[in-house]
Structure 1
């Protein structure tokens, strides 16, 4: 993590806590004195394009409850995509008498002490939630349909099950015909990209998490004074955010000329066609994964920016692999970067 112009200070460990990352971000804000440029405690309710290419932003001042309208030359959408939970529709769901929650609402394992808990979904959230709750729960069942077998070690009170067939008042039946009783169900089933503040006149559509019309997964092709930062996933997040922001600032400063709208459409259609040919679905329209290095290099080359070092991508890949093979202890691993291409595992 960290940024090219403000790296994280040298640490004795490779995995930092939430509190430590927050501390780093506060250090960053203090170093560049950016708080004076931020209008805090304002909730944006509407963004609408104007005929002159500018944008009208309507917001609510939370402390005063006053509606405020401002005009801006450009808009960067940076609201993330982990706020609108997806709940799967399962037969009998509304009959269940226990608690049903999304991983988005998880804060502590304590409320589930002594419970039998079902976790649905084996993405990173599902895997980690299962481990955390198993510390206090009587039993945790992880239901999944992962193509690859889950090889990470879990405590003895964790059991793996296939997909859910139906839900009853107190029990859940799985597609293998087995049944278990539960006190709570956690849905670790992802999020929807959501932009409730974008007026329809912005021309942005979201179809099963495929956002259009975006050039390089970022720039509104028809209204390029609007940009989305952080849409791609399975990426080196901090480094990508920084690279995308620098790319777009180059355009705003006039140091980068974008292709014509037609050329941007052709480039995007080619990118999407390659994804469909790989078997990706709409929900994977902005997934990078193995293709992230090519994406970073493309942005850096176009805008004459310093690229993300290959070692960062390699470290991210190593971390993901370790998460899936040794979830219980992978955060104890420590790595040292040797050069732009190479890292070593210290222990």
Structure 2
């Protein structure tokens, strides 16, 4: 039996572990903390933040779209679960599939290297003691939300107030009575600015370009349930026009000034490949209420005075940078991982073309439901390690990776960005678990016109769970 090490027991590590166990392969998982759950795990007292998920976080995707393929959320869970609910969900997932026994908690990976025979040597530390192990395969699943990224800004070092990254943000109460500047245009920036604006007398959001704000519910349905297999088959321009129309209709509940201040111009274009889509129901309301103001990019800082590119300036007490993260694999040399300029050259965003038997799960930038994408990566990795699916040669993988990188560069798209719905189909075809429509007549309508939920990839192929998958699809049809 091949020996496998997984680094990290977050959602990525857990689904890789489960997928390998389905083929009788028992890996070892090294987790540096005392709990599984990664980004979603809760600390002991809930009074401080130790992951990038802040206390009030609500998922950007519905529970139907977010669920693993064979482990739906409980019916009583809200359509958009809280951080606490997702943490409990992953805990239940771990218990349901008996995963904890394979995880070595409080164990940090110090070094991972290659021996001359091609095996990986992994040095770990636990309780002050160090040990070295060797493995045939190494799966890196330590996440991409550890090393924070803060832009270089002229005069930032002179700022006398508090500077923090969104990773260190926990709740808005501590900002009561202060003037706060949030920097960024992604989900964290918009959520945090919307929250802080309720208690801080002066709250500002600085961004280079606006994201599209998506109401969590459109026409009384979770917005992502409208993104069906049928709609995905339409030409891109048609999809964009239809989605933009729905969004503009939803925006009519806010006054024109709030829309103008946020977007800057009424003809803001929509591009499904390039732009950010942030589910948020509060930001435009805060603008309408006058509790929040949108600002352009920061030009410079002189002590507590922040000047923006439009020439305006504000006196600020706290700056919260919601400006993303740098990919960080500190226990491996870049010659093995290929990490450079926040990019990793990976075949299908998973396999290293330069280091044999090295796989990564959850290192790409996932747009859409995250857990199904992680699960599909885990299933692909397990298929390859178990010998059921063969990888192309290293030369072909390198060529494919470079071809994809160049194409994304031409389109000005992040080469590590994947759209979950198309990504799931791509990997499902490779490992032969794509649903066979005509073999599932009872689920025909859902498969052709319904949302692309992960359960559809348990209808056929290895490790299929037909009865459960059909039930999930049937229940979803009733829901929508």
Instruction: Return the TM-score normalized by structure 2.
Output: 0.62
Aligned to 1:265: 398
Aligned counterpart, 1:54: 119
Contact conserved, 1:229 with 1:245, CA < 8 A, in 2?
Answer: yes
Q: Indicate yes or no: 2:429 matched with 1:301.
A: yes
Partner of 1:179: 313
- Mapping 1:1-347, distance limit 5 Å: 1-61=66-126, 64-146=127-209, 150=262, 152-155=283-286, 156-200=290-334, 203-212=336-345, 214-233=346-365, 234-280=367-413, 284-289=414-419, 292-306=420-434, 311-312=451-452
Higher helix share: 2
SS at match of 1:216: coil
Structure 1 residue matching 2:451: 3-state secondary structure: helix
CA RMSD of aligned residues (A): 2.3
| Shift of residue 344, structure 1, vs aligned partner | 6.7
The CA distance in 2 between the partners of 1:226 and 1:340, in whole Å, is 39
Instruction: Give, in whole Å, the separation in 2 of the partners of 1:5 and 1:120.
Output: 38
Whole-Å separation in 1 of the counterparts to 2:430 and 2:473? 28
Give SS of 1:275's match. Answer: helix
Determine helix, strand or coil for the equivalent of 1:111. Answer: helix
Contact 1:338 1:344 in 2 (8 A): no
CA–CA distance in structure 2, aligned partners of residues 205 and 199 of structure 1: 8
In structure 1, distance between residues paired with 2:82 and 2:341 = 32
Distance 1:60 1:12 in 2: 39
- Aligned to 1:221, the other structure's residue is in SS state coil
1:254 positional shift: 0.6
1:317 match: none
> Tell me, what secondary structure is at the counterpart of 1:215?
coil
**1:209–1:285 contact (8 Å) kept in structure 2:** no
Deviation at 1:143, TM superposition (A): 0.7
User: Cα distance 1:104–1:215, how it changes in 2: closer, same or farther (>3 A)?
Assistant: same
Task: Classify the secondary structure of the residue corresponding to 1:59.
Answer: strand
For 1:81 and 1:101, the matched residues in 2 are separated by: 18
- Alignment check: 8 A CA contact 2:158 2:301 kept: yes
In 2, the alpha carbon distance for the partners of 1:297 and 1:181 equals: 50
Shift of 1:82: 0.9
Cα–Cα, structure 1 residues 87 and 313, in superposed 2: closer, same or farther, change >3 Å? Answer: farther
Residues 221 and 74 of structure 1: CA distance in aligned 2, closer, same or farther (over 3 Å): same
Paired residues of 2:404 and 2:415 also in contact (CA < 8 A): no
Bigger shift: residues 12-21 or 76-85: 12-21
Aligned residues: 313
Higher relative contact order (CA 8 A, sep 6+): 2
Between structures 1 and 2, the one with greater strand share:
1
Could you tell me which runs of 5 or more consecutive residues in structure 1 were left unpaired when the two chains were aligned.
Answer: 315-336
Does the C-alpha gap of structure 1 residues 109 and 189 become closer, same or farther in structure 2, counting only changes over 3 Å?
same
SS in structure 1 opposite 2:105?
Answer: coil
The separation in 2 between residues aligned to 1:111 and 1:230, in whole angstroms, is 32
Is the 1:101–1:187 Cα contact (8 Å) retained in structure 2?
yes
CA deviation digits over 1:300-327, x for unaligned, max 9?
A: 11111246x771479xxxxxxxxxxxxx
Contact 1:119 1:185 in 2 (8 A): yes
- For 1:118 and 1:293, the matched residues in 2 are separated by 35
* CA 1:142–1:313: 2 relative to 1, 3 Å: farther
Q: Which runs of 5+ in 2 are unaligned?
A: 1-65, 212-259, 264-282, 436-446, 455-471
Q: Is the 8 A contact 2:197 2:292 kept in 1?
A: yes
User: CA shift at 1:117, angstroms?
Assistant: 0.4
Contact 1:3-1:238 within 8 A present in 2 as well? yes
Provide the residue aligned with 1:332 in structure 2.
none
